[in-house]
Chain A
Amino acid sequence: MISGQQIKILIVIAALAALALIVPHSGSFVILLATRAMAFAILAMSVDLLLGFTGLSSMGQAAYFGVGAYLTAVLATKLHFGLGWDFWLVVIMGILIGAALAAFFGLFAIRAGGVYFLMITLALGQCVWGLAYRWNSLTGGDNGINLNGRPNFGLDLGNEVTFFYLVFAFFAVSMALMYLLVRSPFGQSLAGIRERELRMQILGYNTWLHKYIAFIIAGGFGGLAGVLWAHTNGHVSPETVVLTTSVDSLLMVVLGGAGTLVGATIGTAIVFGLREYLSTLVPWWQYVLGGVYVLTILYLPMGLMGILTHIGQRFEFKSKSERMKKLATKPS
């Protein structure tokens, strides 16, 4: 007998397989867009880890994304490092630097909750932006850094399809890892903190440490997304680290549905689709994007994934949906 959860997993795997099979046979622009969306989706999922599963709305996730991207670009252009097999080292370093920065920022941010947490992460994120913008000798300031070509280690990542598969692999593995994380006892206690932190404290959990670790893990995934993003664009500029990147990732999660991981991905796909594909077709794409946001907030407070909850599980999981509704209406 297959349980509901297993069915969901099968659906996600089928969707991923379809993505991997169909996209490479479409036009090269679609491949490029899908690659970009998947790299960014890793960032969005890391935001979801905080927002959806831990109840922390981080407004500074672009910082980890940014350090990952700048690390890649600086190593590649100044030291010619990371353009062969050492690309894998850069990936690890990107994850580590994202996690390390999150470990540092977390010391300040985790002390607060709710809107204060949001403000602190916003401020810290802007510090990184300021550095990128002003540290001209290292970051090229406003002009940014151009990477000269993608890594080649037997596999030539300069080929868009090869690179698509690489990013796809990272994306799928990240999703699987984050899924395992939130299903683990650790992830369950994060959900407990999200629901009622005080009760968790009374039960003897060190909630600060739990949140701190979740924050670091999210930072690591942010750094990974940054490394991939740098190679996707071949260009890194302060625009990568700017506040709107953080806001975008947060909006994508809310749009798709917080606390689902898949929702973050769907949200990313929709925003990228509208902003970068629809904008090539019609000039009024912004109205569509705005309309989607407004309608989602008004009618689907649980995001697009909420539709599924509405139709399929209205009766069985009544208590759960009420719980999630409470979460969605909580000011954040």
Chain B
Amino acid sequence: MTNKLQTTLLGGCLAFGLGLTAQAYAEELRIGFVAPTTGIFAQVGKDMVDGFQLYLDQHGNKLGGADVKFIVEDEQGKPDTAVTKAKKLVLQDHVQMFIGGLLASSGYAMAPVSTQEKTLYISSVPAADDLTQRQLDKYPYFIRTGWSSSQPSHPLGQWACDQGYKKMVSIAADYAFGYEVAGGFQKAFEDCGGKIIQKIWPPLGTKDFGPYIPTIRQDADAIFSLMVGPMSLQFPKQLRGAGYKKPIIGGGTSYDEFALPFMGDEVIGDVSALHYSAAIQTPKNEAFVKAYRAKYGKVPSYYSENNYTTAQWIDEAMQKAGGKWPGPEQFIKIMQGMKIDAVRGPVSMDAERNPVQSIYIKKVEKKEMFGYDKPELWNTIIKTYPNVSQFWTYGKDKFLAQPVYSRDFPPCKYCE
């Protein structure tokens, strides 16, 4: 006991002393980062951390002039653990903000921590729609730099309709994120005159689509798919293997750069929509892809870009605040009032603290990009919808009047 007391006292003195000396030179910004660095999502977690770290490395570990203490905590892909780790960051490390979480469930679980502890929580990846929609009021210290699940789906639904597809089948992973992505697509597609004639919900983590493929209705013009992780690799392979010839379009995670390098040539020509593609033809993106690839040996995914941009956003907001931490409320106000020239393109923030950004309709092509000498699969951009908000063209009030997208909403009017 005495020992412990002594250590604590000693530690306290040390911290106090260090704090004093540090104060004399520059403000220290303590940033907590919660990502799954072990477990089945460890590789995604690595992309998240790497994206943020790359920006820090490029800027001498300073954001807006303040020295950054970047503390990474492992959420293990579990919401319970994410809560514990977020609390650890706030209570023990006294961070000014915590960032991250991967799954929507982690985002949902950590948002109340920000309210309880009055600490800023920046959601760089978790996309659950309602965090910046119907439940916004509960989380005044929450802001999103990534995306909301249905945000890219609305333009994609419009695009599919513009291609002349009349009837489509939707096959999406059976969980909240799948409902929101597929729901957004169905809503926009049907509002434009298309018809979803069948909805199939394979469980999350399905690897054998044998039972589902034969049930897909043959009178559809195309398929909409929303796959995640290993599902993304298996579904197009098995569907094409079964002799299916019609077009496949998908939600962002069906073809994101995390899965793309492991896919076969059968996915060439498939179309998906997201707020980022590694194949965006801008000098800024080219520099980012090259730097990222040189350092980590792989093409950045949207997980990397989202966190890189988050770091950039904090950097520019801190500059506006004069290099001093202005407190969470003020910081959110600064972030909301900014336009960022990000790797993914121009981004701003709506009043509901969700980004307004370009949504890219992307087609998988095999080609050489950015001077790499081997033909690889890239998500070539075929159409850009600029300044897309989470409410698409519906307007906030009308959009929020409908329930959140779920398994049964929008209802499948044209299913038999």
Task: Give A contacts to B, CB under 8 Å.
Answer: 22, 27-29, 32-33, 36, 133-134, 136, 140-144, 146-149, 158, 233-235, 237, 239-240, 275-276, 279-280, 283, 286
Contacts and interface: CB of A to CB of B under 8 A. Distances in A.
Given A22-B1, A279-B76, 14 more contacts: A28-B91, A32-B88, A133-B175, A136-B406, A136-B407, A142-B104, A142-B176, A144-B108, A146-B111, A146-B138, A233-B83, A237-B109, A239-B80, A279-B73
11 contacts: A29-B92, A142-B103, A142-B204, A143-B104, A144-B105, A233-B84, A235-B83, A237-B79, A239-B78, A239-B80, A279-B74
Contacts of B80: 233, 235, 237, 239-240
Contacts of B177: 142
Nearest to A18: B1
A142 B83 CA distance: 16
Question: Which range holds the interface residue count of chain B?
Answer: 35 or more
B30 interface: no
Q: Which 5 A-B pairs have the closest CB atoms?
A: A142-B175, A29-B92, A235-B109, A28-B91, A142-B176
B108 A143 contact: yes
Contacts of B1: 22
Nearest to A142: B175
Contacts of B112: 146-148, 234-235
B92 A27 contact: yes
Contacts of A140: 176
B322 to A, nearest CB: 31
A283 B49 CA distance: 14
B85 A280 contact: yes
Interface string B94-125: 00000000011100110111001000000000
B133 interface: no
B91 A283 contact: no
Contacts of A28: 91-92
B365 to A, nearest CB: 33
Contacts of A133: 175
B109 A286 contact: no
Nearest to A137: B406
B108 A235 contact: yes
A275 B109 CA distance: 19
Given A148-B138, A234-B83, A240-B80, A142 B91 contact: no
A231 to B, nearest CB: 12
Contacts of B104: 142-143
Contact of A142 (B81, B87, B105): B105
Contacts of A27: 91-92
Nearest to B115: A148
B128 interface: yes
A233 B86 CA distance: 11
A141 B175 contact: yes
Nearest to B175: A142
Contacts of B407: 136
B393 interface: no
Contacts of A237: 79-80, 105, 108-109
A235 B91 contact: no
B151 interface: no
Nearest to B88: A29
Contacts of A144: 79, 105, 108-109
B74 A283 contact: yes
A147 B138 CA distance: 11
B411 to A, nearest CB: 14
A233 B109 contact: yes
Given A239-B79, A240-B80, A146 B109 contact: yes
Contacts of A233: 80, 83-84, 109
A286 to B, nearest CB: 6
B38 interface: yes
A116 B81 CA distance: 32
A280 B104 CA distance: 22
B84 A235 contact: no
Contacts of A142: 103-105, 175-177, 204
Specify which of B79, B108, B407 lies most central, judged by the most chain A CB atoms within 10 Å of its CB: B79
B109 A280 contact: no
A142 B404 CA distance: 14
A276 B81 contact: yes
A151 to B, nearest CB: 15
A40 to B, nearest CB: 10
B37 interface: yes
B260 to A, nearest CB: 25
B75 to A, nearest CB: 10
Given A237-B79, A239-B78, A279-B74, A146 B175 contact: no
Contacts of A275: 81
A116 to B, nearest CB: 26
A133 B85 CA distance: 24
A22 B108 CA distance: 33
A149 B177 CA distance: 26
A121 B128 CA distance: 33
Contacts of A235: 79-80, 83, 108-109, 112
A280 to B, nearest CB: 6
Interface in B154-191: 174-177
A158 B88 CA distance: 17
B91 A29 contact: yes
Contacts of B174: 134
Nearest to A134: B174
Nearest to A141: B176
Contacts of B74: 279, 283
A29 B105 contact: no
B76 to A, nearest CB: 8
A32 B138 CA distance: 23
A12 B116 CA distance: 35
A38 to B, nearest CB: 14
A140 B112 CA distance: 16
A223 B410 CA distance: 36
A144 B83 CA distance: 13
Contact of B91 (A32, A134, A146, A147): A32
Contacts of B81: 275-276
Contacts of B84: 32-33, 36, 233, 276
Contacts of B111: 146
Specify which of A36, A147, A237, A240 lies most central, judged by the most chain B CB atoms within 10 Å of its CB: A237
Nearest to B109: A235
A146 B176 CA distance: 15
Contacts of B128: 143
Contacts of A147: 112
A144 B116 CA distance: 18
Specify which of B88, B92, B177 lies most central, judged by the most chain A CB atoms within 10 Å of its CB: B88
B369 to A, nearest CB: 33
